[in-house]
Amino acid sequence: MALHWTGGLASASFYLPFRWVRKWNWETYWLVGGFFSWIIAPIFFAWLLVPDFWHAISGASMQVLIWTYVFGVLWGMGGLTFGLTMRYLGIGLGMAIALSYCAAFGTLAVPIHDGTFMELLRQHWGQVILLGVLVCLSGIAISGWAGWQKERELPEEQKQKVVKEFNFTKGILVATFSGIMSACFNFGLTAATPIVHASRGILASSHHPIIWDGLPSLVILLWGGFTTNFIWCLILHFKNKSGKQYMAPHVAPVAETGADRIVAGLEGPGYTTAPTSMTNSKANRVPLLGNYAFSAAAGVIWYFQFFFYTMGQTKMPRAGKFSGWTLHMASIIIFATLWGVVLHEWKGTSKKTHWLITAGIATLVLSTLIVGAGNYIKQNEKAPPAKVVHTALGVPHRA
């Protein structure tokens, strides 16, 4: 649980360094950060902690590699469309629906696909874990309700800015797509199980901790996510004529950016007016070194969410590994909400909204404790007594 919560903290915190990036379009700093989170960090940490990690990857079948990569691509699509749910449904309702789909689908689809879901319903430990998943969804719903209340209490001008394109039908469709696609990351980790097993063998033979066994699988999976985001950022660079920003020492004038430039951040793809005409003055100088440093920091912090997630999975019983996704999603929402409190995003809202968000966090914390208890029960349950049989010579032995 501690490892999963650490991963959730990293996921909820990675966007903070982007706040100090100056005079770059979203697609520029997003791609720089993504290069560190999806390419550099996975390879570096796998190389650092898993001896001959590439052998575990190259030894996998082509089918395993393809499915792991494909699920990474699909997960990337979910991440890109997540912002659209905010655009059509608002922050509270959009996040609640998208994350509910992601948590439920990513957690339950694995045991359903593996044919172990009915066993969960029959076993006490399985029932406890499923109860934790249900409580987690309830906590997400309460947090979404608090977000909806927050939107209602915003000034009209600010509220219109947030949900001016409200469309319930479009929002539900996009949230469904985004939630299911985002859950594909968990499917990708499942598809990469042979790579994990090979990594575990390498670590054991080298007398290294097996806690690092999931790192090589992240290399292939995150390549898929990088592909999706790379293509989208290239499209935005072409539309916005922003490809020069990687090396440009000064902000480009209006003539080089166009009358309307497409932006795509956490709020989703949309349009904004171009910046005012700028000259190559000191005030308009682009802090390239700082931008690269903060973008790289954001990317590495983002990677740490799954660095710790795979570590947490090694500490869970095999039958309960699927529930790690619930712990991950719940902890992300908990820490993201707490960051919102620290950054005064809930300032000015009513006591009712404060009570709702407190109840949402408490419910999510409770869900992680319940899921952890279910896995603890499974981990410590006694094995059934061995059946004594007799051989043809009459010598008893345990089957």
pLDDT top residue among 241 and 341 = 241
9-22: per-residue pLDDT in tens? 998 888 888 888 88
Q: What is the pLDDT of residue 55?
A: 93
Instruction: Report, as an integer, the average pLDDT of 170-184.
Output: 81
CA–CA dist 134, 141 (Å, integer):
11
Instruction: Report, as an integer, the average pLDDT of 16-40.
Output: 90
161: tokens are: 């800015």
3-class DSSP state for residue 336? helix
Most confident listed range (25-34, 280-289, 333-342) = 25-34
CA–CA dist 249, 319 (Å, integer):
54
Phi, psi for 99 (deg, rounded to 5) = -70, -30
Query: Quick one: which H or E segment has residue 112?
Result: helix 91-114
Query: Is residue 328 scored above 70 in pLDDT?
Result: yes
DSSP structure class, residue 285: B
How far from 85 is each of 49, 76, 266, 288, 295, CA to CA, in Å? 38, 15, 10, 32, 25
Interacting residues of 155 by C-beta distance below 8 A, sequence separation 6+: none
How far from 326 is each of 1, 82, 149, 179, 313, CA to CA, in Å? 11, 18, 25, 13, 12
CA–CA dist 64, 195 (Å, integer):
8
Q: What is the pLDDT of residue 43?
A: 96
Percent of the chain with pLDDT over 70: 78
Q: What is the pLDDT of residue 275?
A: 42
Q: Name residue 26's amino acid.
A: W
85-103: per-residue pLDDT in tens? 766 766 555 666 777 777 7
Query: Is residue 268 scored above 50 in pLDDT?
Result: no
Nearest to 14 by CA among 216, 299, 229: 299
CA–CA dist 390, 399 (Å, integer):
9
110-151: per-residue pLDDT in tens? 777 677 778 778 888 888 888 888 888 888 788 777 777 776
Torsion region of 313: left, alpha or beta (phi above 0 gives left; psi -120 to 50 gives alpha): alpha
Query: Is residue 337 scored above 60 in pLDDT?
Result: yes
CA–CA dist 175, 84 (Å, integer):
8
Sign of the C-alpha dihedral computed for residues 315, 13, 195 and 202 taken in this order: negative
Q: What is the pLDDT of residue 277?
A: 43
Interacting residues of 7 by C-beta distance below 8 A, sequence separation 6+: 304, 305, 306, 307, 308, 309, 312, 328, 331
CA–CA dist 125, 374 (Å, integer):
5
Instruction: Report, as an integer, the average pLDDT of 159-182.
Output: 70
Nearest to 46 by CA among 31, 35, 57: 57
pLDDT top residue among 334 and 307 = 307
CA–CA dist 244, 23 (Å, integer):
12
Confidence band, pLDDT 50/70/90 cuts, at residue 315: confident
How far from 287 is each of 233, 241, 291, 355, 389, CA to CA, in Å? 21, 19, 6, 42, 77
262: tokens are: 């497409």
CA–CA dist 173, 170 (Å, integer):
5
Q: What is the pLDDT of residue 190?
A: 87
Query: Is residue 394 scored above 90 in pLDDT?
Result: no
Query: Is residue 382 scored above 60 in pLDDT?
Result: yes
| 138: Cα within 13 Å, side-chain hemisphere | 13
pLDDT mean across residues, the chain: 79
3-class DSSP state for residue 53? helix
Q: What is the pLDDT of residue 166?
A: 59
